[in-house]
Chain A
Amino acid sequence: MNSWEGSNHILPKFDLKMKFSLLFFIISLFQLQASSGYAQKTKIDLNMRGASVLEIIEAIESKTEFKFFYSKEELDLDRELYLYANKQRIGKVLKKLFPDGSINYRIIDKQIVLTPNGFNKQKEETPPIISTQDPVKVTGKVTDELGNILPGVNVVEKNTANGVVTDFDGNYEIVAQEGAILMFSYVGYTLQEVDISGKTVIDIVLVPDNTELDEVVITAMGLRRDRRTLGYAVSTIKGEELTKAGNPVNPFSILQGRAAGVSVRQSATGPTGGVEINIRGTNALEFEANTRPLFVIDGVPMIDNESSIQASGGDALEKGDYGSGINDLNALDIESIEVLKGAKAAVLYGSAGGNGVVLITTKKGNDNGGLGIDVNYQFSIERPRSYLKLQNEFGSGYNEYTFRDFNNNNDYWMDINGENTLVQAAVPQNFGPAFAGNENVNLLYWDGITRPYQAYPNNFDFIYQDGHTKSTNVAITKGGDFGNMRFSFTNYEYQGMVPDFFQKRNTISFAGRLKVSEKVSIEYSTNYFDIKTQNRIEGFAVGQVNSLNRDAPYEELMANEQYKITDEFLEDGSINPNFGYYYHDDYRDNIDPNFVSEILSNAFYPDMPMARQFYGREADRYVDDKSHLIASIRPTIQITDWLSFTGQASIDLTNTDIENKEKPLLLDPVMLGGEYALSKSKALNHEFRAFMNFDKTFAKDRLRVFAMAGGTFSRQYTDRVYASIYSTPTESGFIYPDFFNLDNQAFTDDIWPDRTSEFERVRGSSVSEKEVHSLLGLATFTWDNVYTLELNARRDWTSTLDPTGGNNSYFYPGVALTWNYTNLAKSLVPAVQFAKLRGSFADIGRDAPSTYFAYQSLNAGSAVNDTDAIRVSAQSSVFGGTIRPERKREWEIGTEMNFFKGNRLSLDFSYYTNNVYDQIMSVGLTPTSGADAIRINAGDVRNWGYELSLNATPIQTEDFRLNMNLTMASQKNVIEKLYPGLPEKLIVGIGHQVEVLAREGERSGNIYAQGPRVVESGEFAGRKIVVTNGTEYALNEVEETLTGNIYPDFLGGLSTNLSYKRFNLGIFLDYSYGATLYNFKDYVLKGTGASVESLAGRNEAYGGLAYYIDEITGEYIPWDHSQSAPAGAEDGLVYHDGIIVDGVQEIIDNTDPLNPIVSYEENDQIVSANDYYTANYIFSTGAEALDGVSNRYDNDYIKIRELSLSYRFPPSVLDKLNLQNLSISLFARNLGYLYKTLPNFDAESSNGTKAFVGNTVLPSAQSFGFQLNLGL
């Protein structure tokens, strides 16, 4: 150790990166030899005395994955010999087995082809001894289902020793007797026999044979494990499934239903926005807690975060839903996605894997693969699909008499240039006169043009356009002695459905394995993404919905180009103080500026999204530019036959620049926008790992022990710097209006005092840094490939918890047991091909939900104005002792079974139950207690559920194959404990009307809402109480009603594949049942009278009641539709849009304040349709008066997610084109719903990740496209 003491003095000066560099450098000095390929890696122990060649071959096959191919007739397999091999490679063993050179052997990965010496040549030169017909030469190419070439396929003339093997390009050439049968065999594929009669070219597509079931899956820490020995559930989604219907903008947006128990929901912003991903319904009692799984790409833990369109509210630098790092991934580069669902599966990832882990493996090369070039091109159209049902019978206004001029006191009459003029007032209400019968009414619109009063049914659709996606990918793979590599470049262009919204991506993926020496190899993976996005969809606030007046001809209004850019300089050379975007003079001259202001203030300002939507989008640029690098290197050193070292250094680095250039839009006298904002941020994940691996068999190979132990170091760092300059509603903040630079600030001081939030500030910065250090280990014991016991342990040290007293450290164990009971099952049910039972337990920990959540401090603030008194503030939360790590304890059992030959039917079932306890949360307190909240470890939520995956191939013939895969998952939970004395916890609320509450003994995610008050007893018991003015029900503010749950009861998907010869038709459906959604924009559409649902009661035909208004009392008096107004009716009018709310009126006599007397009577008050809808639904913003019990929606649906039709060109065509493969497919995504319960909106119209609120009218995108795959 003395020699190391000296090092200790030196090394601490190095930072950690340097330490690891040093570590790898030292390792590289070992000059160990590397190995690669199955044949190279696999060591064989044999000690067989007096055994025949055949017995030895069978022994090798049973011990390894090697498969021998030979003709019994050609070889002497009965020869007996003594063979001893101690951890020798197959080559040496074969040399011993066939020492005289009489047998040629060829090792192609796991296949060993045995032929008599000179086999191929001899067959060509010497015709068969027995021949009734002439020999013919047959050539062809062998590929797999996807058109990939298959080298090394055995092609043997049946019942002869005549055979060849396909070359690296999958081609073969064989001379056989006319009429003979050719047998094509390949490991992992079903044997095919073809009659060669009359054919000289036979191309073969081999179909995978699932009976082998030696599937290797990637598990935690990138360990490749035989699925048969896994004690927990892992779902695998192959890369080709992701790209079957084209290369999606975001590979995760189409995962829904593909893996049981994984819920994926896209938000209303479409594929460039956030995707909600949730494994096993992970939920938390802390709304801010991260419930997303850990994403790991090629061993690199990715930076990931929640995102939401809501963020775009007032934040100058949050103009949309930015998604997260996983949005960047390119599906074409993904080999497979493994989802580790349970705690046991993820235990090696420690805190980060508490919500499950999504392992993404990118495509690599193949050591034996030679050179391959693949090209993929796709083009698709994104078509806006709105589910809105807007009425087109009534226009703007409050009632049928809107056009009457009552004392010049009406929104529709204005003094325009001295004349009382009927104008399109653009009030949000659509309860105006019917279009029918008013065709002759002409309105002055705010562009100065008079138009007839009519509906513009497509005025909403006008806002959106068709988008498109173009993707070109070139991938080059190469294998050889050096190892392998794959280089892929993708250019991706996404044009969204809103003008000027695009995303352009260039992606480079470079990955493979480098054989340094026989014992040292290095796997490397680099993914670089350069992504530029402009004008993301904003979270259009209420303004857009309020502007959907049916008589608003937006297309015409916009086509007029009313706006223009004014000159920067006046004639005298001075700067034009009004330089910018102006209402066009030509139109302004025609119209009273006050009118414009009035219109704008009604229609747009301050809810200006529509104005910005129309004008700003063309002028403004909100650009985020992202450079994202994910890279890792992973050296492996084979120290001994049974001991190896694996290291890994990885980085996920994202630099994002956001630049918002918002031109001042002067709509005299109001100015909209006018802002320049710049933000630069960096997010960095570093991780270093080092493991020793042990792999050895004992007890005559019956017991295999695999163990690993090591440590990881991970660091997450983010920073952000931002600055902005801005205008006020009346004054430009720019010196030069079109010059976007921070130095171009007109105001020298903070003239916008309301800007108080962090994001609204003019400048600021933030930094966050976190480290987790870990030691972990795993040991698996497999007996006879029947029983497998797996033990895990991990200890983390995190910087997010208080280090005093070792509180920042926590340990978690895991254990799993597997029983392969195929033989037993087969004896009972012969159709069984494979059967496994598995069970596992794990107890994992998690650190604080955010980096500094557990840090208690006093905070020095600014000096009290004009004094030297420096404020010191305390946190508004108190701490219930030191925060400990939270825990999740999970039990899981499951089974996998395959039935019938070829595994025509298989099922995978899991049942799990877990308790998430000691959750780190902030519990709201009554401020009277002296704190807003307490941060504590509390709560115990029990979750349980099942996951089922069923795969069936009901039809399989030579040409026709139907495969169906169904996934289903259901989760339930109960909050067993909250905190002593705390009956409930508010998770999130929308106003006071709708709240997600956690209550002891109830399900997590329960939504409570205020509903109508009802009469408790007496004559009117059970009747709803109507508010005094009769428009709506009085809300019960004391007791909330359980209205649903934010999580679905069950969800899943159904994938159907139909192959006929070279055609493949894929249909993918997914479904969700049992979730509840509050759709506020739907309420707004009703409240403003724009939706079809708001037609009831509008007029006599729609069931409206007749009434007149008493001109003295203002009361609404019932009347008859056909009678004219009586004397005393206000303005002599009879109205026909009366509604009486079914309920009772509450009469309170408060003469004695201590003993009020309450009585009830039937409600008979007539209200107008306008008043009714305005009062019962949301008219403007918020949910102030919403009856959350009546206005809830089930969000059940069955969605047609994907449809694809592909065709693989035959080898005859390929040969002519000199291509390895060529396929073309047509696809469509998000076609629509077979069933949905949410009216008027897409079931996936939530605000963003973790949302149960619909708050946008954005249409969803339907994609139609084609893709072309070709291999050179």
Chain B
Amino acid sequence: MKKYIYTVLTIFLFVITSCEDKLADLFADPGVYSPTENVVPGLFAQMMSDGSNIRDIGFSWFRNVVSFTGFPVRTHVASPPHLSAPRFADYDNHAISVSEIGVQGTYTFAESRFLELATMDNLIDEMGEDEKNENAIYSHMINIIRLNYYSKSVDLYNSIPYFEAGKASEGVFFPAFDDPWEIYQDIMARYKELADAIEATNVSSFSDKGQAVLQTYDILFKGDTQKWVELANVWRLRAAIRVSDVYPTEAGVVIAEILADGNLPTVDLVGPADESWITTVNNGTYKGNFTRWNYHTQMSPEILYWLDADHDHLYTEGLDDPRLPVLALPNREGLYMPISYDHRIAEAIDEAVTTWNLADNGYNFSQSTSNDRYTNATQHMDRDAYTHWNNYSLMNLTEPYRLFTVAEIELILAEAALKGLTSTGSTAREHIENAVESSINYWYSQNEIGESTNDSNVADLDVDDYNGKGVNFYNMIFPAKPDATAISTWVTKVGQDFDDAAGDEEKLEIIMQQKYIDINVTETLELFAELRRTRHPTLGKYIFTDGSLLENNGIVERYPYNSEAEAFNSDQLDAVQDQNNTSTPIFWVPASKYSVFPYEDNDLYYFNKYPGIPETFN
């Protein structure tokens, strides 16, 4: 009997103990493939291709607008008033509360966009010297993106967690909110460190494989590290001008340093010519097709007013900005026709839009995301009473996207020169003239690329008398670039206007108008920040359904903190609760401008001078 017992027990113990290895095997998730090669570059590619990051490096303009469902950005940037028409009902009280901002959680200062950064740094730390040499550059590059992102967050919120941010893996779960000026100082210093580090990286010393990997994985500049250096510098320049009203000395030092380094781009800094890698982010829904709802594609009256300088609703060479035809598509009558800030009119249009009989009597149309540009353009020309952005200039599937234009550099330097922050080597007028000329060239070049990489049916555009309206459709979409003389005439006119402007504020108004024209809808957040800082350019003001105006002088100084901060970091948030409103200006707004608001009293400022077609609704 004992034999039986021993036999049973032995078999039993054998079975139980023979499965240990299996447990270890099963611990790993079979649905996850953990790579062993190019891990650091892969982490870089992941962070770079994160849709949110792409959005923040300047691409995909309408994400800046559309994803900000709240009121302020739409109100304050150069996008048309109609943008916020669907939200008007929410703002009937003419004031803006925390919940009505609606952007909470959309633009968070969330380190989660750089989730892989801690892992990347840990991996690099553990590497041997050679390997570290070839991998550290990815950390430098993604950190440049990260700094830009953090500076934008400060621009929206003021104090944010910065120095302790992104350290969950080190056990810091509740990062403190830091002083925004200290953040900005650090950001400007770090840009330089990173630029220097990249400059010091000798890519040619990489192994052949390392060089190939860099070209493959640097999906932004294809291994052209000089462009990364330039990118760090232009963003640093932007940061410097932002703080220049409050900390002029520090700003001057930084600008002087940048100019001395000589690493500013001399041509527009743009993304790769073939930007298709971006087009599938988020499954391609914001691949840059200029195809959004009408609210997002109609042109704002201010920009149209500045471009159509003689206000005759037509482009006249010499009298109008040469960028008018390349930035704007006329309406179905061939006219440049602005839309109203008056909500009563906007509402009427909304209702017209929602009827199904658009083709017969509608006043504008909705561009469809499923249409190609040709279809949208032709439908617009068929129907719309208002001016849209020229979708062939602004967006294309494969056009390089804007990171930073020379024009914007020149406008920043113009301001620096105007304020005497440092010696820029030129006068403010020279800078602004350079800016206008460069911007004209930039936008025509964008339009030309649009043509060359156009939809298959571009030939159909060549219609002399489109729709019987006496409009040459092709020329409307692809306006011929004015000759050098005409451009020069306009450039000089702007320069002269600048000289003629009575004082510094008036000159700043012109600089900011030019910034609005050049940047327009491509990077609305930058304009929103600059508007709050300079209180320029002067814009129209919303009129609500009942005829009243937006309260609080229409300006939102900052965004309330997002709900994650309240939910997960409330103790730290408490320290900055006193500024958790919409009315505390960001630290870079000079106190002298707290009570200055960049709005004319009402919509009539532009509308009376430059009427559109609202009488139809009266």
Contacts and interface: CB of A to CB of B under 8 A. Distances in A.
Given A30-B4, A928-B110, A808 B115 contact: no
B232 to A, nearest CB: 21
B18 A930 contact: no
Interface string B121-148: 0000000000000000000000000000
A26 B95 contact: no
Contacts of A8: 14
B24 interface: yes
Interface string A1-16: 0001000100110001
B115 A753 contact: no
Contacts of A1151: 595
B152 interface: no
B584 interface: yes
A827 interface: no
A406 to B, nearest CB: 12
Contacts of A873: 43, 46, 115-116
B34 interface: yes
B216 A874 contact: no
Contact of B276 (A643, A858, A865, A1114): A865
B30 A767 contact: yes
A1029 B15 CA distance: 74
B488 interface: no
A866 B49 CA distance: 12
A369 interface: no
Given A11-B18, A869-B216, A643 B5 contact: yes
B109 A928 contact: yes
Given A799-B22, A930-B111, A1153-B594, A1035 B99 contact: yes
Contact of B27 (A799, A858, A871, A880): A799
B293 interface: no
A559 interface: no
Interface stretch (B172-180, B249-257, B295-303): B172-180
Which of A692, A803, A872, A1152 is packed against the most chain B CB atoms within 10 Å? A872
B15 A866 contact: no
B600 interface: no
Interface residues of B, number: 104
A927 B5 CA distance: 60
A871 to B, nearest CB: 4
Contact of A771 (B19, B31, B160): B19
A854 B15 CA distance: 26
B34 A928 contact: no
Interface stretch (A158-166, A699-707, A978-986, A1225-1233): A978-986
Contacts of B11: 19, 22-23, 26
Contact residues on A (Cβ < 8 Å of other chain), bracket: 35 or more
A926 B568 contact: yes
B484 interface: no
A946 to B, nearest CB: 35
Given A597-B356, A927-B564, A928-B160, A769 B23 contact: no
B19 A773 contact: yes
Given A766-B31, A983-B571, A1113-B546, A864 B111 contact: no
A766 B31 CA distance: 7
Interface stretch (B163-171, B258-266, B411-419, B510-518): B163-171
A1122 interface: no
Nearest to B573: A926
Given A771-B19, A800-B27, A1037-B99, A931 B169 contact: yes
A911 to B, nearest CB: 37
Contact of A930 (B4, B38, B112, B174): B112
Contact of B568 (A594, A713, A769, A924): A924
B459 interface: no
Chain B contact residues, majority secondary structure: helix
B568 A871 contact: no
Interface in A839-883: 851-852, 854-855, 857-861, 864-876, 878, 880
B110 A801 contact: no
Contacts of A1037: 98-99
B15 A16 contact: yes
Contact of B285 (A754, A880, A981): A754
Interface string A1100-1139: 0000000000000111000000000000000000000000
B121 to A, nearest CB: 11
A47 interface: no
B41 A869 contact: yes
B114 A930 contact: yes
Interface string B6-35: 011111101110111011111111111111
Contact of B112 (A713, A852, A867, A876): A876
B15 A771 contact: no
B288 interface: no
A928 B569 contact: yes
Contacts of B205: none
A926 to B, nearest CB: 4
Interface string B153-191: 000000011000111110111110000000000000000
B351 interface: yes
Interface in A698-756: 710-711, 713, 753-754, 756
B351 A773 contact: no
Interface in B208-252: 216-217, 219
Contacts of A20: 15
Contact of A857 (B8, B28, B284): B28
B594 A874 contact: no
A598 B354 CA distance: 10
Contacts of B284: 753
A1150 interface: yes
A1034 interface: yes
Contacts of A1035: 99
B480 interface: no
A997 to B, nearest CB: 9
Interface string A905-936: 00000000000000000001111111110100
A417 interface: no
B384 interface: no
Most central of B5, B23, B39, B595 by chain A CB within 10 Å: B23
Contacts of A643: 5
Contacts of B97: 1034
A871 B49 contact: yes
Given A869-B217, A927-B564, A929-B175, A860 B35 contact: yes
A1154 interface: yes
Contacts of B14: 4, 8, 11, 19
B567 interface: yes
Nearest to B26: A799
A639 interface: yes
Contact of A859 (B22, B32, B99, B278): B32
B42 interface: yes
A926 B564 contact: yes
B253 to A, nearest CB: 29
B247 to A, nearest CB: 20
A929 B165 contact: yes
Smallest CB-CB A-B distances: 8 pairs: A1028-B93, A872-B42, A927-B110, A753-B283, A799-B26, A930-B166, A927-B112, A1153-B583
12 contacts: A23-B8, A597-B356, A639-B4, A692-B5, A713-B16, A767-B31, A773-B20, A808-B23, A864-B48, A927-B110, A1028-B93, A1150-B552
Interface of A: 4, 8, 11-12, 16, 19-20, 22-23, 26-27, 30, 409, 594, 597-598, 639-640, 643, 645, 688, 690, 692, 710-711, 713, 753-754, 756, 766-767, 769-771, 773, 775, 797-803, 808, 851-852, 854-855, 857-861, 864-876, 878, 880, 924-932, 934, 981-983, 986, 992, 1027-1029, 1034-1035, 1037, 1113-1115, 1148, 1150-1154, 1156
Given A927-B111, A929-B165, 16 more contacts: A19-B14, A27-B8, A643-B5, A711-B15, A799-B24, A857-B34, A865-B278, A869-B41, A873-B115, A928-B109, A929-B172, A931-B115, A932-B112, A986-B567, A1037-B99, A1153-B583
